């Protein structure tokens, strides 16, 4: 665990391939923004990462755990034998670690994009991004096949695994790309030869349409509540989820049309607040 004790209310987190910790410096209202990682591309354009943001009230001294996804697959991206792994998700957790209890403590997730496929570079459709409630599109298929097969993409309740994208496999003369990580990770291509893969889904506690899991859930038995709020009762307001294919402007990074690189996170103090009775205070 890489620990980060912040003495400044506005803090940015880049990819380091490990957990990072944020200690809340002041009681108040904070905006949290996350960018999922793009997939690893090789010589083909990969899927782009999603963007999420929301406002939450936090108490001084609270610890949040930040996992910034990598385009090499860190934090749930599927692997690939051809160096085209899916992008990892970027998320905020209440519990640190690498086990399922840590994974299910996520209160915000920005899904990662799928890796680029090894099919001909004459195609001009991007591979899967991720965002909205579900992964977006699916990547790179031969011209005689539909270029956007949504069956490979993660949703709020389905995907390869909770938090993990599927590894790509070589079929025929093409090496498949890894799927994006996310709330649920995407699925690999079932094409022959292999095409691209699906993007991961995103999640924000309290966001209309998101489907949270029950605290009793285990890795082998995930139970969805049908409620948008996380079991911790911690939730965001004024939240937003943007697809990896859409335009997302940031004053602190070069992310302008979905994230093309490693993931990224930003926590900003909006207003100090000494009221300890706000319903979504953590």
pLDDT digits (tens, 9 = 90+) for 131-168: 667 877 665 555 555 455 567 889 999 999 999 999 98
Q: How far apart are CA 63 and CA 60, in angstroms?
A: 9
Structure tokens at 26: 């002041």
DSSP, collapsed to helix, strand or coil, labels residue 235 as: coil
Nearest of 159, 157, 52, 144 to residue 114 by alpha carbon: 159
Contact 221, 13 (CB under 8 A): no
For residue 103, the surrounding DSSP H or E stretch is helix 100-103
Q: How far apart are CA 244 and CA 265, in angstroms?
A: 15
Contact 34, 109 (CB under 8 A): yes
Contact 160, 187 (CB under 8 A): yes
- Going by the DSSP 8-state scheme, the letter that residue 138 receives in this structure is B
Q: What is the pTM of this model?
A: 0.88
pLDDT for 175? 64
Task: Find the radius of gyration of the CA atoms of the chain.
Answer: 18
Paired sense of beta strands 2-4 and 20-23, if any: parallel
pLDDT for 134? 82
pLDDT for 46? 75
pLDDT for 112? 92
Side-chain-side CA neighbours of residue 223 (13 Å): 7
Contact 140, 80 (CB under 8 A): no
pLDDT for 143? 54
pLDDT for 245? 72
Interval 103-130: pLDDT, tens: 999 999 999 988 876 554 444 444 456 6
Q: What is the dihedral of CA 247, 175, 262, 260, to 10 degrees?
A: -20
Q: Which residues of the chain have pLDDT under 50?
A: 1-7, 120-127, 146, 249-252, 254, 256-257, 276-279, 281-282
pLDDT for 48? 84
pLDDT for 39? 87
pLDDT for 140? 53
């Amino acid at each position: 665990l890489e620990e980060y004790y912040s003495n400044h209310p506005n803090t940015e987190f880049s990819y380091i391939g490990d957990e990072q910790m944020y200690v809340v410096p002041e009681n108040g209202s904070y905006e949290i923004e996350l960018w999922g990682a793009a997939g690893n591309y090789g010589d083909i354009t990969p899927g782009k990462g999603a963007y999420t943001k929301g406002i939450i009230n936090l108490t001084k001294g609270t610890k949040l755990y930040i996992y910034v996804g990598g385009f090499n697959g860190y934090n749930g991206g599927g692997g690939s034998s051809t160096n085209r792994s899916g992008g990892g998700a970027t998320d905020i957790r209440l519990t640190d670690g690498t086990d399922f209890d840590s994974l299910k403590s996520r209160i915000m997730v920005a899904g990662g994009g799928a890796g680029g496929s090894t099919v001909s570079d004459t195609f001009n459709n991007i591979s899967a991004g991720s965002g909205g409630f579900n992964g977006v599109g699916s990547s790179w298929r031969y011209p005689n096949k539909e270029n956007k097969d949504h069956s490979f993409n993660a949703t709020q309740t389905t995907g390869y695994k909770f938090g993990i994208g599927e590894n790509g496999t070589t079929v025929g003369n093409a090496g498949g790309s890894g799927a994006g990580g996310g709330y649920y990770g995407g699925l690999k291509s079932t094409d022959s030869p292999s095409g691209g893969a699906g993007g991961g889904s995103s999640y924000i506690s309290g966001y209309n349409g998101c489907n949270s899991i029950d605290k009793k859930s285990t890795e082998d038995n995930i139970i969805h509540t049908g409620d948008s709020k996380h079991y911790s009762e911690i939730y965001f307001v004024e939240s937003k989820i943007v697809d990896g294919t859409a335009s997302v402007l940031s004053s602190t990074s070069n992310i302008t049309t979905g994230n093309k690189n490693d993931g990224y996170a930003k926590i900003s103090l909006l207003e100090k607040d000494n009221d300890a009775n706000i319903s979504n205070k953590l």
